[in-house]
A and B are shown apart, each in its own frame.
Chain A
Amino acid sequence: NAGVMQNPRHLVRRRGQEARLRCSPMKGHSHVYWYRQLPEEGLKFMVYLQKENIIDESGMPKERFSAEFPKEGPSILRIQQVVRGDSAAYFCASSPLRVGNSPLHFGNGTRLTVT
Chain B
Amino acid sequence: GNSVTQMEGPVTLSEEAFLTINCTYTATGYPSLFWYVQYPGEGLQLLLKATKADDKGSNKGFEATYRKETTSFHLEKGSVQVSDSAVYFCALSEVNTGFQKLVFGTGTRLLVSP
Asked if A and B bind, the verdict is no
Footprint of B on A, CB under 8 Å?
Answer: none
Footprint of A on B, CB under 8 Å?
Answer: none
